[in-house]
Amino acid sequence: MIGDGVSRRGFLEVGGGVTAASLALTTGSAAALVQSGAAVRALGQEMPNDVELPAAPPRKKRADSVGFAIVGLGDYALKQMMPRFVQAERAHVAALVSGNPEKLNRVGDAYGIPRNARYSYETFANIAPDKQVEAVYIVLPSGLHAEWTTRAFAAGKHVLCEKPMALSSAECERMIAAGRRANRKLMIAYRSHFEPHNLQAMELMARGAAGQLRLLRTEQSYRMSPTSPSENWRVNRALTGGGALEDLGIYGLQAALYLTREMPESISATTFRPAGDPRFSEIFAQVSSQWRFPSGAVAQLATSYDSSGANFVHARGTTGALIMDPATNYSGQKMTLEAGGGREFQSGDPTVQFARQLDHFVDAIREGVRIRTPGEMGLRDLRLIEAIYASAAAGRTVRLNPDATIRS
């Protein structure tokens, strides 16, 4: 538990004409805030706390199942995603990549991964001829996503990459180009696109269940305390970017886009760091932004690493409101439509989001199905994140093109 009794896990479970270049010149480089450091590299970490490894290796999958190599055996990989492969129809864990040999072997033994399919960061390139591995799942600190996605493409594998896709739009563009060169698929692991409540929310908004959308508010926050390996890198700008926005606020950013189905035409934003707090010497404690959409709808997004836990999305239209609280957790989603007498939705089991995301990527690899959350979506979101930081740094509204680049 952290701070106000809210843990990281608790959070998840329960004026125009400003160019990027001119902002960089006037603000001491807003873009530099979201650049990853050249010295950052993949390093083995200890086993996260409270990991439950399978008592027996998972059963073999059908012949056309896609084998994934998991790169980075941390909290999310070991506690959420790896256990969920069992529920996927055509995806299985075929290889592991870690810089900690002891953890690698413990996890490898528990999941029945052959010794010759256990790689270190140094031996990763040997994965290329391994036919059992068709896809690589990148679950490393965010500042390492771009490098390891590019390496996986160089090894001829498809890539499922965790959010945020990277720490800058330039990195995202390089990742997309590397995938095209290798003729391999790239998907960003935006699990809410596979979660029943969020899918139903998209559908409700699309058919005007709350009338014309006017006001949207999102908040994702918890009080962080860098006392575990999983938290330590989250205060390091080169590994995490600006902080809470890339890590948590990105869920609100995504919801604002998939509920309005519009791109903002302008953004104004502010950032804050409490003075003298060592947690925030490199990153922001909180970021808030206001977006204006072409329809006239306005979204207010707030995210914080220094306030008690919240994860909600409120979408208010001319005839009602959709309240999602919690909105994008691993489980326990609650969603109410306040219109026509009010109605609470039980859209389905939220925990199917993990396996459905995997099966969707397999459908793209095997059947050529169009990826719902492609690299281009990750790039769009990094452009918006850059626009938020640019606006906050310049202290004025930033106007955007439809592709989320800053309008010149």
**Closest residue to ligand NAD using C-beta atoms:** 74
Q: Does 73 engage in binding with ligand NAD (CB under 6 A)? A: yes
Asked if 237 and 283 count as a contact pair (C-beta separation under 8 A), the reply is yes
Helix (H, G, I), strand (E, B) or coil at 95: strand
The C-alpha angle with vertex 50 and arms to 227 and 285, in degrees rounded to 5, equals: 30
Q: Which helix (H) or strand (E) holds 203?
A: helix 196-206
297 binds ligand NAD (CB under 6 A): no
Of 233, 280, 293, 389, which lies in the binding site for ligand NAD, with binding defined by CB under 6 A? Answer: 233
The reply on whether position 10 binds ligand NAD by CB under 6 A is no
Helices (H) and strands (E) in the chain, counts: 14, 15
CA–chain centroid gap for 374, Å, is 12
Q: Is 163 a catalytic residue?
A: yes
Given the structure tokens 């083995």, which residue do they identify? Answer: 44
Report in angstroms how near the CB of residue 17 gets to ligand NAD at its nearest. Answer: 34
CA distances from 344 to 259, 338, 347 (A): 18, 9, 9
Residue placing its CB nearer to ligand NAD in the complex, 75 or 381: 75
Binding residue for ligand NAD, selected from 66, 75, 257, 259, defined by CB under 6 A: 75
CA distances (Å), origin 87, targets 58, 95, 200, 315, 353 = 10, 18, 22, 32, 10
Nearer to ligand NAD, 293 or 354 (CB): 354
Number of residues assigned to the chain: 408
Contact set for ligand NAD, span 31-70 (CB under 6 A) = 42-43, 45, 48
Which 8-state DSSP code applies to residue 124? G
By the rule CB under 6 A, 378 interacts with ligand NAD: no
**Contacts with ligand NAD, 190-209, as mask; x by CB under 6 A:** -x------------------
User: Is there binding between residue 229 and ligand NAD (CB under 6 A)?
Assistant: yes
Give the binding range for ligand NAD (CB under 6 A) out of 136-144, 197-205, 209-217, 382-390: 136-144
Query: Quick check: 165 and 172 in contact, CB under 8 A?
Result: yes
Q: What are the residue numbers of the active site?
A: 163
Residue ranges that bind ligand NAD, judged by CB under 6 A: 42-43, 45, 48, 72-77, 98-99, 139-142, 144, 162-163, 189, 191, 229-230, 233, 247
